[in-house]
Each structure stands twice: as C-alpha cells, then as structure tokens.
Amino acid sequence: MSGMRGLSVFISDIRNCQNKEAERLRVDKELGNIRTCFKNDKGLTPYKKKKYVWKMLYIHMLGYDVDFGHMEAVSLISAPKYPEKQVGYIVTSCLLNENHDFLRLAINAVRNDIIGRNETYQCLALTLVGNIGGREFAESLAPDVQKLLISSSCRPLVRKKAALCLLRLFRKNPDVVNADGWCVLNTLLFQFIDVPFIFSSSYAYRADRMAQLLDERDLGVLTSSMSLLVSLVSNDYEGYSSCLPKCVKILERLARNQDVPQEYTYYGIPSPWLQVKTMRALQYFPTIEDPSTRRSLFEVLQRILMGTDVVKNVNKNNASHAVLFEALSLVMHLNAEKEMMSQCVALLGKFISVREPNIRYLGLENMTRMLMITDAQDIIKKHQPQIITSLKDPDISIRRRALDLLYGMCDVSNAKGIVEELLQYLSTAEFSMREELSLKAAILAEKFAPDLSWYVDVILQLIDNAGDFVSDDIWFRVVQFVTNNEDLQPYAASKVREYMDKIAIHETMVKVSAYILGEYGHLLARRPGCSARELFGILHEKLPTVSSPTIPLLLSTYAKLLMHAQPPDIELQKQIWNVFKKYESSIDVEIQQRAVEYFELSKKGAALMDVLAEMPKFPERQSSLIKKVEDVEDTADQSAIKLRAQQLPSNALVLADPQPVNGTPPPLKVPSISGIKLDHESASQTQSQPNGDLSKVQSQIPSADLLGEMVDPLAIEAPPVDMGSHQRVYREEDGIPDEVDGTAIVPIGDQANKVEPIGNITERFNALCLKDSGVLYEDPYIQIGVKAEWRGHHGRLVLFLGNKVTSPLTSVQALILPPAHLKLELSLVPDTIPPRAQVQCPLEVMNIRPSRDVAVLDFSYKFGTSMVVSAKLRLPAVLNKFLQPLQLTSEEFFPQWRSLSGPPLKLQEVVRGVRPLSLSEMENLFNSFRVTICPGLDPNPNNLVASTTFYSENTRPMLCLARIETDPADRTQLRLTVASGDSTLTFELKEFIKEQLIAIPMGSRALVPAVPVPAAPLAQPPSPAVDANDPGAMLAGLL
Amino acid sequence: FSLLSSCFPRSCTFYLVLCIILFLLAQESWVCVLYFQIHFVLLVSRQGKVRLTKWYSPYTQKERSKVIRELSGVILNRGPKLCNFIEWRGYKVVYKRYASLYFCMCIDEADNELEVLEIIHHYVEILDRYFGSVCELDLIFNFHKAYYILDELLIAGELQESSKKTVARIISAQDQLVEAAKEEASSISNIIAQATK
C-alpha cells in the first residue's frame, strides 16, 4: 500500500492546510474529483477505485459527510483479488453502520466468502460482520458462522473471529438468532420433528457446545469464546452450568501459569484479559453449588488477592490490578467467606490512599459497590476521612466517585459530618458538579437529619452557598417541612431573618424568606428588628433586585404582613398600599392581579383574615428530590443511587400497553428498578413493536435501550407455538396454471366483509414493478409494504406487514402461488400481528427461466372475531427485476447484433397503439425497467438502441439487445426488434417491452391479450452446452 | 408450554409470558444488562485532529461527530497526572496519551477499566512493533494499516487476540498477499506492454 501516492499526496495536502477553511476547500475539491470518477466508472481500474475509497474513508474520518460512493466501497467486497477485497471490507465496515441500506447489497458476497474455502476471505468477511453485522446479517449468516466456530477443520485464526462474529449477531439481534443464539442450529436441525422436543433439548445442547468450546487449547480462540460466553450468560445464565467448572479450571490454569505459551503472557502475567473475562463470566451465575469447584475457585481468588503487589512497571501494575479488581468483584458477588470479604475491604482501604490515581479511583468505585453488602459498611466508615480528602482531589473523576461513595455510605450516625463536608465543598466545586452535589446534600439532610432545625440550617446554607444550583424542588421541600412542623416555624423564621441581613442574597433565598416571613413572621413580633414594618422594610429592599416571578410572592407576603400587624399600623398600610397601586398596572398579569386583589381585600379588613389565613398542612408525600436524583443522574448512577432506591419504598411502575386490548390480561405491576433506565416510554415502545422495528430500536445508542434489546427476543416468543405447521411453502415445480393469469387477480371477498383496499392495487403493483420499495396493499387494518433487492437471478423481498389498529390481527396466513419459472421461499409469517406492530417476512426469490408470469400472494387475516379479510396480490417479482443495466459501446454492440440473426433468437414486430411518448420519455421508460439505452449508436436519431443482461438459473447471465424504430410522424406505432442468445428470453422480453409501451401508466395487464406460448422447440430452454457456444452469453459472461 | 397456549387465547399468553419474564428480569437487575465491552475507539491528536475512529455500536454520522467533539474537548483539557478514566454520559472513557496522541476507548460503566487501559497499550505495542517505534506521522500516512491491525485485535468491541506475535504474523501474511497481487499485476502489465511493442 506504500505505493499509493495519490493518497499520500492528499494527506499531506490536508496537513499543509493553514486553517479549517482551506482544509474544507481541499476536501471539497477531492470529493468532487472522486464523484466524477465514480460517475463514469467504466474506466476505473481496481487500483484507482481502491485509492478513492481510501480517500473517502480518510475524509470521513476527518469528520466530513461522505454521502456517496458507498456503493463503490461495497462493490469492492466482491472483487476477485485480495487487495481490493480487503479495502472493500474495511472501508465498508467503517463508513456504514448496521442500519445502512447498502449493506443489504453485500450480504450475498459476504456469505459467499464465509462459506467459501479461502480462509483469508473468511476472516475478512467475519470481521466485517462482527463489526457491523445488523439484523439482516444475523438472519442470513448466523448458521454459517456457527458452523465455522464448531468446525474442527478451521484454523484458530478463523474460529476466534467466528466466535466474536456470533457474539455480535447474538447481541444485536437476539430475536433473529432466536432468543439465544446457540440453539439456532439446533432449531434448524429439528425444525420438522417435534416442537416440545426442541424446547427440552436445546438447553443441554447449546450448553454442551459452549462447554466444548471452553476446552479449546488455543488461547486466542479461548479468549473469544469466553467473550461469547459472557454475553450469553449475561442474557441468561440458565443452562450453562456445565461451563462453570470449566471456567474455574481455566482460571486455575492461568493463575498458576500452567501451560500458558510465552506469547500469551503480558508483562509476565498469563493473559490478564482472559483471566478478567473468565471471572466476569462467573459473576453472572448466582452461586456455585459444587463444593469442590467452589473450593478451587476460592483458592485461586485468595491467591490473586494476596499475591498482587504494587510494582514499578505501569503496565504490569495495571494488568495485575485489572485482574485483582475483577477478583474483588467476584468475591463481592459470591459474598460468602467472611474472612475474604474483610480482606477485600482492607485492600480497598489501602487503595483509596495510594498515590496512583487509577487505583485510587477504582478503590473508591469498588468501595461503593461494597456498600451493597451490609456488614461492610462499618468498616468502610472508618475510611471516611480519607474519602473526604478525595473529595478535594484535583481529578474530577475521582471527586465524583468520592461524592458517590459519601452519598452511599451516609446514615444517621455520620450524616452531620458528611453533609457539612459536602456544603463546604460546594463553594469550591466546579459548576458541572454543583447541581448534583446540592441535590445530594439536600436529600441526605432530609433523610438523616438528627433534628429538623439542622435540616433547615443545611438547606438555607445550601441556598446561600450555591443558590443557582438549588432547584425549586429543594426550597419547596423545606417550606413543606416548616409548614408541617409547628415547632420549627419560629426557628425557621428567625433563621431566614438572619440571612436577610446579608447584603447580597440569592433570589431563591428571597423567595424562601418571603414565604416563611409572610406565614410565620408574626411569631417573631416581639424580637428586636422583627416588627411587621421592619420586616416589610427589609424585604422591600430586595424587591428591585428580583425577577418578575418572585414579585407576586413578595406581594403576598406584604398582604400577610399587613394582616398580622398588631396593632394595625397605618404607616405600614400606607406604604404597602402604595406598592399595590404601583403594580396595579404591571404588564405581568400575575403581578397585576395580585396587586389589585390584595389592595381591594385589604380595604375590607375582615375578609382579608379569611383569605390570608395560615396555610394548611401539606399531605405527607415522598420527596420528589429522590425521584429527581434518579432521573438527573447520568454520570454516577451506579451503585449508590441504586442502593438508596432500594431502601425506599419502591414506587410501582405500570408496564403495559397503553391501550387495553381485548383478551389481554390486566397490566402487571412491576416494581421499578431504578438502576436501569426503565421508563414507560421505552417499555411501551418495545412492547408495541415486538418484532423489532429495525429503524426505531436500533438507531438508539445501545445501552440507552438495554431493556428494549431484552424485550425483543422475548416478545417474539409468541408465534413459535406451532412453528412447524405454519411454514407452508408452496414449491410446485409444475407451476400453477390458471390462477396466475392477470385477470384473476383481484382481492376476493370485497363485498363479503366490506373491507375496501385503500388505493388501487393494480397501480400499486405497476409502480412496484419499476421501483424496489413501496406499498403493495393497504386497507383500514393492515398495510403491506415491500422492499426488494435483486442480485443476478436471486432476489430478496421483505414483506412488511403493519397492523394499523390497536387490536391484534389474528389467523394471519400468507401463501405463495409461484409460477413455474420462479422458486419462492417465504419465511414464517406469524399467526398474530400485535397491535400497531410491524412484522417482517423475508421472501427469497430465484429465477429459473425467463417468463412473464407473475407470482401471487394469497393473503388473509382475521380482524376481531369474525371478519375475515383476504386478498390475492401479485408480487412484483417480474421479468425486469432480473435484468442488470448494461451500457455497450458500438464496438461491443454491433458484432453481437449481427451474430444474432433472425428468429427465433431475434424477433421483430411492428407495435401499434403505443402510448405516444417523446424519445426522451421513452428513454426514461426503458431505463426505468433496467434496459439501458445506449445513446448515439444508431445513426438514425429517431431510433433507440438498448442493451441489458438477464439472469436466470437456466440461462446464466444473458446479453439482450433491443432496437426501437420510431416514426416521428405517427408516435403511436413503432418497430421493435429484440435479440438475445435464448429464444424464450427473446420472446418474453419482446412481449414485456410491448406491454410496457402499451400499458404505461394507466392500463392493467388484463388489457393485453394473453400471448400464446411460442412453439414447442422455442419454449425449451437451451441446454448449458448450447450456452457455452453462445456468443451473447459469452460476452455477458466476460462483462 | 403447549398446555398453556391451549387454555388461553394466544395474545393472552404472549403478554403473560412477556410480563412474567419482565418481572423476573426486574428481580435480578444485574443479570439482565447484556454485556458489551468497547463501544468505540478514538484516536485524537493533541490539536484535536482525529487520527482513527472505529465504531462498534451503531452511531449515525451526526452522533459520531458529536461524540468526537465532546470527548476531545474533555480529554484534551485534562491535566497530566490524573487518572485515565472519565465518566461521560453514563459510560466510561478510558484514555491514554502516547506522545502527541490520545487513544480513547468507550466502555460500559460496570466494566473493568484497567483491562481496557491495557488493551490500549497492547494495541500501541503492536503498532510499535509493526512500524518500528511508531509515531503520529506513521499513523497519519498509514491510517489503513492502523485499521488493519485494529481489526486483528478487536472484533465487535471485544478483544480477539492477546498475543502480539500472532497479530504480527497475520498482518505480515496480509501484506504478503497484497504484495503478491501487486507483482502479479505488474508482471501482467509487463507482458501486455511487451506484446504491444
């Protein structure tokens, strides 16, 4: 690759750019250049293509949008030579993500490489699938990948990639890989035997397979297999118990450094990664039953805990501590040996005071996890001073951990100390942490307050120190407390009065003070400086500094002060009335209304007493703060928050479909798990799309929707109850004679059940003949969409069955009535489509020989209890889908044209009644059904010459040529000549083009009289031997 | 299972099963988080220039740029003697600076940070061995090599090979294949050139 000069030049150009602007210009220039080169891609050598694709990747990496050329990158995958293939694979895996449409085009090529014999290609393909494999890859490749993984003939090189590739397919699409990836093969094998048998046998089967993989000697393969195991057991450990002793064995072997090749030791430590992974896998099993396994595991753990020393080499240190910390978590998880637990706590205590920041960070983090184990709390408390020191660490990551740990370890005994530390820290903490900090301090103060006055102190201090970061919830909460506790009221009032003496106070403080003084200020009346007039004076001083939402609060306070003033104070009344009058014309409606009303009320005297009477007590409720801290947290929401949440009475979370459906059980209430972000939205979303709408679920960052990923595989469990009986694929080689002709195809039973299709079915079909995705059928209950890809004589249609209503559609049946020339295989159609869900049914199509017959989908479903809707729909798997556009030059065209002379290989016909089209319109029409116009070949400007390639199993790629001679005087007639190396093809293509010319866009095929099949000798597809001598076929093959 | 389904309408069993399973999952909350190691790899220079990106979770182009912008802002501003981990949007980013280059890997919160830190070092050692004391310039002009090597080290965000020797062997085998193809191509073009003389 060193020889790729253009690329190096481009990179140095970019490096030499003085500024972003220049760089952008250079990039734009290059993109323009690449775009033009790709456009006339005929003359592009593989080398150049490779170079441009690399440049695209480089530009993409720089952060520029590269929205073209994906096709070229993907096409390199099927290049015959290794260098191109390699580039195609790597660039595709970088440029595209799993949701990208272009990936579909690659599936066949990737699969060929996977099942092929060349192991270098296998590696490339597995790497691509492992790195981006999406749903569709999983669907079509999972069994092949599994075969590679368990094959004894594959080298470790391939198998380790296969393990991770399978992991990827399992992880991203567990529903396609059938709830647990490991039994797919099994299900395939036993599909037609006995359903219950599969269920009982699959566990044992896959566990055996997995356990077998763990016997692997090659450590590379073992590392990958271990990752696979971790992923499988993280989903569901059930059934993998036979792997447990093997994991312990592996761990023993590594810890004792027995039989570990030199190249697998890392700074003298036998593969630390494998050790860590093995211990991680063990953490997904709840316990270890077998006493001897348990004993050996504890021996190993003991050895790791005691035998890890701090060394000078950073990397060795890191690697050994990676193992140590994993061992710590495993010990915590097993939570068995008391002695070992205290060793762990002691170790952690040591770690949090070391100088190495990584170890300190991890010490704090693991100590927080340790809090989950109740009897460790007392030991951890001993380290409180050290933890508080960490709160002042220069590293924010460490400070966060310390804060989280303090928050988690706080209880009645140490709350005072911790909260005061937090308050002190608040004034120096950086902005990004202050809100979290103040919220946590407020919660701890409320939860563990030894007495309520302390709580009031804390909150006021909090507001004073970091008013900007104190949300309204916090001061609302303190007002609730004060209102509900009479003893607290005078204290709170005097406290806020003290704060009012400060020169500059935060607006939130003004709010709290105004409220409390208005309600309880009169309780202080006898103290110096606390008469109603003085309180008014001191509050009114603040009024100019506050924003308009606070002014109404102040007005209420004034009204209350006025009412409480004993004896009535005429001077005060005058002042306050002045204020009210001033705000009578305020632009703010709230202020204006209050001012007017208070003014009027205060004139009435007695009425004022009623209206402004003391506020009643608040009903007791759960603190909204704790809810909030769970929501707000996105940085430190691990253990401590979880722990706190567990201590609270769990608030029930309703998890069910929003619309109740007939026949569904009442929604089950599930206790919330606040550690995972489980909210109504994601729950209902995943539930309503059980079969996984690919675009919605997958576009999210994975862990934001972890639950979604887990619900998916479960949701799909509904249909498999009678899987076997439902898979009815018709594959009648003799063909279905009469049902398939054009006129028979109308949705039947329209009158009977009064379900009218929306839109014209024929038009929809005609439109789909020319494009690859769209709606095939729609009625008020269901919409059937189609998305198709075509590659040679293979095609793949995906039917999207979308339930439009809020009740399920049942007894869904789809039968394919294939014509003789197509081989169709429809995957399982689930019996029920859940409300508002979309189900995808892939349909594999293979073209055997040229024919214009159309496949029909006999589709029916039941809505409600009795209404049966059925429709016969033509499927857009028509002749032109098996054409590949191909543009020829005159040197290529004419020799072919001349060599195919006369019927039956070349047929000519004068067509009349053609819809009048201008030449350019006609060109577009031809191009739209993939018969490419070759401009400038015919000397007569009124004539068009076109070429294409036809793919079918019998004919192989076959070149087709056509010539249309139009008459400028009469556009309704023309002469059509079609030639190809196959007589049936020539005939069928000619008829097809004729239909298009006559029928577009209004007419239905029924208008065209059925064409008799040509005479017997012509109808016979030529044998392969004939093909080999056929010049057209050879040319097509060469191209 | 089949007994159940004969007693209830199918949709009913469907929801029932779903709810029961959800309930079970909720009970053992740590069991149900699917394990995922590395979400993406990012190499940025001290000037904030991206030298390599590899995404193992699906991110759109827009999200990718946003992630890069945000993270390079945070990481480049961190002082020298701090720990190698930052907490970021519910994930952890493990990073390490080598000369002018920052190597970053994003992992789940509960994952083993030191392990990933050593994956970074392992990668750097392999690069070093391949290029012979690697520098930023090597990676700029041979970014494709960096990609090849990364692909032999990680797949699907998981470590696939912990032996430096094995990776080196595979990479040199690849290089040979490319060389062989090049020679073949040049010999063919020689033949053609001579034939047309």
φ, ψ for residue A372, nearest 5 deg = -60, -25
Q: Is the predicted pLDDT of residue B27 greater than 50, yes or no?
A: no
Do the chains contact at A168 and B86, CB–CB below 8 Å? no
Provide the 3-class DSSP secondary structure of residue A718. coil
Q: How confident is the model at residue B122 (pLDDT cuts 50, 70, 90)?
A: very high
- Average pLDDT in the B180-192 region? 79
Residue B159 CB-density burial (10 A; 0-12 exposed, 13-18 middle, 19+ buried): buried
The structure tokens 């350019």 sit at: A920
Structure tokens at A242: 């036979």
Cβ atoms of A878 and A854 closer than 8 Å: yes
- Give the CA count within 13 Å in the CB-facing half-sphere of A947: 22
Is A52 within any annotated ligand binding site? yes
Asked whether residue A6 is marked as a ligand-binding residue, the answer is yes
Of the candidates A1016, A993, A740, A733, the residue with the CA atom closest to the CA atom of residue A858: A740
Whether B82 and A635 lie within 8 Å, measured CB to CB: no
- Which chain B residue lies closest to A272 (C-alpha atoms)? B115
Q: What is the DSSP string of A324-352?
A: HHHHHHHHHHH---HHHHHHHHHHHHHHT
Q: Minimal Cα distance from B80: which residue of A?
A: A395
**Mean pLDDT of the B50-75 span:** 88
CA angle A271, A272, A278 (to 5 degrees): 95
Q: Is the dihedral of CA A290, A293, A295, A298 positive or negative?
A: negative
pLDDT of residue B127: 92
Q: What gap in Å lies between CA A687 and CA B18, rounded to an integer?
A: 9
| Shortest distance, CA B23 to any CA of chain A (angstroms) | 6
pLDDT of residue A45: 77
Residue A631 has a pLDDT of 57
Q: How many alpha carbons lie under 13 Å from residue A121 in its C-beta half-sphere?
A: 19
First to last CA, chain A: 28
In this complex, the residue of B22, B35, B59 whose CB is nearest that of residue A230 is B35
Determine whether the interchain pair A322/B115 forms a contact, defined as Cβ–Cβ distance below 8 Å. Answer: yes
- What pLDDT does residue B9 have? 41
Name the pTM for this structure: 0.61
Residues from chain B that touch A701, judged by Cβ atoms under 8 A, are 57, 59, 63
Q: Which residue in chain B is spatially nearest to A11 when comparing CA positions?
A: B141
Give the CA dihedral A840, A846, A852, A853, nearest 10 degrees.
Answer: -60
Q: Which of A234, A276, A360 lies nearest to residue B33, judging by beta carbons?
A: A234
Q: Do B114 and A358 touch (CB under 8 A)?
A: yes
CATH class label, B38-179: alpha beta
pLDDT of A187 reads 38
> Is omega for the bond preceding B80 within 30 degrees of 0, making it cis?
no
A627 is in an annotated binding site: no
Say which of B2, B12, B148 has its CB closest to residue A665.
B12
Q: How many CB pairs below 8 Å do chains A and B form together?
A: 296
A54 annotated to a ligand binding site: yes
Shortest Cα–Cα distance, A376 to chain B (Å):
20
Instruction: Say which of A131, A171, A701 has its CB closest to residue B34.
Output: A171
Residues in chain A: 1039
Q: Is A5 annotated as a binding residue?
A: yes
Neighbouring residues of A374: CB distance < 8 A, sequence distance ≥ 6: none
Chain-chain contact of A167 with B156 (C-beta, under 8 angstroms): yes
Q: What pLDDT sits at residue A764?
A: 84
Q: For an interface test with A, give the residue of B89, B152, B158, B182 to mutate (most A CBs within 10 A).
A: B158
- Which letter does DSSP use for residue B169 in this model? H
Neighbours of A39 (CB within 10 A): 10
Question: ipTM strictly over 0.85?
Answer: no
**Interchain pair B144, A87: CB under 8 A:** yes
* Residues paired with residue A842 on neighbouring β-strands, in sequence order: A798
Q: Which residues contact A803 (CB under 8 A, 6 or more apart)?
A: A781, A782, A809, A833, A834, A835, A836, A837, A838, A839
Mutate to test the interface with A, among B5, B6, B12, B36 (most CBs of A within 10 A): B36
User: Which residues of B are less than 8 Å from A61 in CB distance?
Assistant: 50-53, 143
**Between these two residues, B95 and A571, which has the higher pLDDT value?**
B95
Contact criterion met (CB < 8 Å) for A357 and B109: no
Distance CA A577, CA A598 (A): 9
Is the confidence at residue B57, as pLDDT, over 80? yes
pLDDT averaged per 10 residues, chain A (length 1039): 74 87 90 84 76 88 82 83 87 82 81 86 88 79 82 84 86 56 39 34 59 84 89 80 87 87 89 91 86 88 85 88 90 80 84 87 88 75 84 85 85 81 79 79 81 83 80 82 82 84 82 85 77 81 82 85 76 84 85 85 72 74 63 44 40 31 37 37 40 37 34 33 37 39 39 66 83 84 85 84 82 82 81 79 85 85 80 85 83 82 82 81 83 82 86 82 84 86 86 77 40 41 41 40
Residues of chain A with C-beta less than 8 angstroms from the C-beta of B164 = 263
Chain B nearest CA to A560, separation (Å) = 47
Minimum-distance CB partner of A400 among B21, B26, B87: B87
Q: Letter for the amino acid at A916?
A: P
In chain A, how many H helices and how many E strands?
Answer: 46, 18
Q: How far apart are CA A211 and CA A232, in angstroms?
A: 12
Shortest distance between the Cα of B197 and any Cα of chain A, in A, equals: 22
